[in-house]
A = this chain, B = another copy of it.
Amino acid sequence: MTSSSVDCGQVKDSLKRWSADFDAKFASVLIPAGDAPAELVEAMRYAALAGGKRLRPYFVTRCCVLSGGCPEAAFHAAVAVECVHTFSLVHDDLPSMDDDDLRRGQPTVHRKFGEAMAVLAGDALLTLAFELVVRDLPDAAWASDMVGELARGVGWSGMIGGQVIDILGEDKASSVDLVRSIHAMKTAALFETSCRLGALAGGADASVLSALSRYGRCLGSSFQAADDILDVTATASQMGKKVGKDATAGKQSLPRAVGIEESRKVARRLADEAVCALDLFGREADDLRALAKFVVQRQH
Contact = CB atoms under 8 A, between A and B. Distances in A.
Interface of A: 32-37, 39-41, 44, 87, 91, 94, 96-97, 114-117, 119-120, 122-124, 126-128, 130-131, 133-134, 137, 140-141, 143-144, 147-148, 150-152, 154-158, 160-161, 163-165, 167-168, 185
A144 B142 CA distance: 9
Contacts of A35: 157, 161, 185
The secondary structure that dominates the A interface is helix
Given A130-B147, A131-B147, A163 B34 contact: no
B116 A157 contact: no
A164 B40 contact: yes
A115 B127 contact: no
A151 B128 contact: yes
Contacts of A156: 32, 34, 36-37, 40-41, 44, 124, 127-128
A122 B32 CA distance: 23
B120 A94 contact: no
Contacts of A168: 37, 39
A34 B192 CA distance: 15
16 contacts: A33-B157, A36-B157, A37-B165, A39-B164, A40-B160, A40-B161, A87-B123, A96-B116, A116-B167, A120-B160, A122-B123, A127-B156, A130-B130, A131-B155, A141-B141, A143-B147
